[in-house]
Structures are given as structure tokens and as C-alpha cells.
Amino acid sequence: MATLAPSIPSHVKPEQVFAFDIYADPRIGDDVQGTYAAALENAPDIFWSPLNGGHWLVKRHDLIAEIVKNPDVFSAREMQIPRVENPPFFIPLSLDPPQNVPYRHVLMPKFSPRAVAEMEPKMRAMAAEIVSEVAGKGECDFIHDVAARFPVSVFMALMGLPLDRLHEFRAIADAHFNARTNEDLAGTMGQIAGIFLELLALRRAEPTDDLLSYFLDAEIEGRKLGEEEILAMCMVLFLGGMDTVTNVTGFSFQYLAGHPQLQARLAADPSRLPDFAEEGLRMFGVIGTPRLVVKDFDAHGVSFRKGEMVLSALWESGRDDRKAADPNRFDIDRKDKSHLNFSTGPHLCLGHALARAEMRILADEWLKQIPSFRAKPGARHGFRIGTVIALESLPLEWDAA
């Protein structure tokens, strides 16, 4: 149950208050992003929710961009709503510029468009194999059998994680995103740290060509990375790699399953798959980015005060009717697919090129083997909301050859 703030702060105007529970609002339904946009349609562009300890929420594209580009006021060093005493610390995510810059420079070569292009043959082979395992069955749970396996397997191979522990690691990531208390957060963070401490010990003894071995050899400002720094980098990569691409791919395929004409069009013309992936990202973003107000700041008629939390709902950015005509319509022919679902500015997601490639490649390999499919009638999908949105299951069926 969401906790109420003790009272509405005096600097919050009555018209700026809009009660919304980011973790369990009853207005959110199976069309998660669509019902989210509908629930907030009449809310102010920036509003104060008294739930979950009280916090601001920002829903407009350009206002979100302003906030994430202003770390002097809106810091990334705390990202839990409600605030907790010992918030998780990630590198480079929890660092504001310029402190995050050297770490981003360490990571950039491994996630550049060139690096992703070099990975594509292996990713295609992996996607084709995963799809072939279900193609002859005529049905699958797309989340469990495909979307949670392909991008996660790509990430695990990149990191050097053991693939036979995929579902165990996914469960840990899911528990982390559902955590609300210090105790729960400490539990999941401890589990993740334990995984990487064990693997780092192995890589020190036997280096390979994976990302863990790269971190052990990498330098920052003329020195080797320390173990605590490596762990903080691994943790944010783990949580992102285990969850986010799986989620946006699942929502995109949920839409695709109900539109056979689009399936046929993409199967006949794979050159449009990048447009499908980008429109999926615009329509079905899954990330919200909390920020801590570190000094009083007045803007757009809002009085932000030091110590308050602000959630920039990145998934709302693509559905802003000031940026896109008919924003709730999925349209691969749309010229402007503007969204901020990878954030922007100093915390632009380094994995954006990899995520786009994974969505494109998986859709391509799926449609080669299963060009026509549909959602199982009457199946419930289940979802999670919060600061990261997830689709829990997606039962699909098709006419197997």
C-alpha cells in the first residue's frame, strides 16, 4: 500500500496536487502505457502526488529533457521513491557530471555502434536458435521463452555471466525493481554483489574477452578501477541488461500480435524493422528516472524544494501530443518518433544502440520463422509498474508447420 506524505507541503499549490500511485495505481490496465497516458491526461504537466511519501512527477517531453539535463538541481545520486536511508549506488548512473564522465568513457567502446555491429552475427545466431526452439510448438509464452532469453542472453554473454543461471538472475532483477524498503534493497544488492565478486575472482585467475575481464584491465585517470567501482558498474549493467529490453520488446510484440497486417508487412519488407523498433520504443517505453532536488529551484510555476524527489516519466515522453500527432497511434511510417526513453544529456543510456539492434534482430528472426501469430484468447498478461515497467507474460499462438 502506498504511503501518504504527512501533509501537502505549503509551497505546493492546490492545483498542482494529483494523487497517483506509481507502484499500484488502479487506473493502469493491460495496455500499460496507454492507460498510464489516459490516467495522467488531466494531470498538470508537473504535479505533486501525496502518495509514496510525496513526490513530483513530470510527464511532458521537453520538461523531462530540462530536468535530466540540469544535474546541478536534479541529482541522480538518489533514485528511490520514497527516499530510503541507504540508497543503492551505481556507476555511472548515481554520479552527476563531471564525475560520471570518466566512467562513461570506459564503457563507451563496448557499447558503440561499431561494437554492436560487430556483435550482430552472434546475436542473429542466438535469436534464430531461441525462436527455432518454439517455432514448431505452435505456442509459447513470449516473455518467458523468448524476450527474457534473447536480450538477457546477449547481455550475459557480453558480461561473462553463466547462461544456465538466466532465470535465477532475472528473478533477482525483478525482486529489486519490486523492492520498497532498505531491507529488500539491501537483499537484492547483496545478491548481485555476491554474483560479481565470485565471477571477478574467477576472471582474475583466468581472463577472457568478456566485459568483466575488460573492467579488471581498464584504467580511469591513470589508475586501475577498484573492486568497489567495478561492482557498482556491474550492478547497473546487470539490472538494465536483465530487464529493460525484455520489457519493451514484450510490449511491442503484444501490439504486433494483434495486428496481422503489420506482421505481413514487416515479414515482406524487413527494411522497415528499424522503424518498428523505434516506434515500439516511442509507444512502449518502460523507464522512469527519479531525481533528488539538491537545491531550491523555481521553474514553470513549480517550487521544487531541496530534499524532494522528482520522477521523470520517460515512457510518457513519446506520447506527448505536443511532440507527435495522434501520439497513441502506433505508426511505423511516422516521421517524428521523438522520445526520451533512453534519457538524454549526461545520462543518455550507453546501451541504446545495443537495445535497438536487439529489438530489430529478434523481430527479424521471429518473422522469418513465425510470420503470422496472435495472442492466446483470454490469457492474462500481468504487469509491473513503478520506476521500471514490465510485462510479466505474453502467451502467443500460431499455426505451426
- Per residue in 35-49, pLDDT (tens digit) is 999 999 999 999 999
Determine the Cα–Cα distance for residues 375 and 378; give it in Å rounded to an integer: 9
Strands 74-75 and 390-391, by their bridges, are: unpaired
The more confidently predicted of residues 203 and 152 is: 203
Mean pLDDT of all residues in the chain? 93
The mean pLDDT value for 155-171 works out to 85
3-state secondary structure 127-179: HHHHHHHHHCCCEEEHHHHHHCCHHHHHHHHHHCCCHHHHHHHHHHHHHHHHC
Asked if 247 contacts 360 with a C-beta cutoff of 8 angstroms, the reply is no
The predicted-structure confidence for 380-392, as pLDDT tens digits, reads as follows: 889 999 999 999 9
- Residue 6 is predicted with a pLDDT of 64
The predicted-structure confidence for 246-265, as pLDDT tens digits, reads as follows: 999 999 999 999 999 999 99
The mean pLDDT value for 163-172 works out to 83
Confidence of residue 177 (pLDDT cuts 50, 70, 90): confident
Q: Count CB atoms within 10 A of the CB of residue 148.
A: 24
CATH number of the 18-39+88-290+350-397 domain: 1.10.630.10
Residue 38, all three cell numbers: 489516459
Q: Count CB atoms within 10 A of the CB of residue 390.
A: 23
Phi then psi for residue 395, to 5 deg, are -70, 120
The predicted-structure confidence for 57-87, as pLDDT tens digits, reads as follows: 999 999 999 999 999 999 999 999 999 888 8
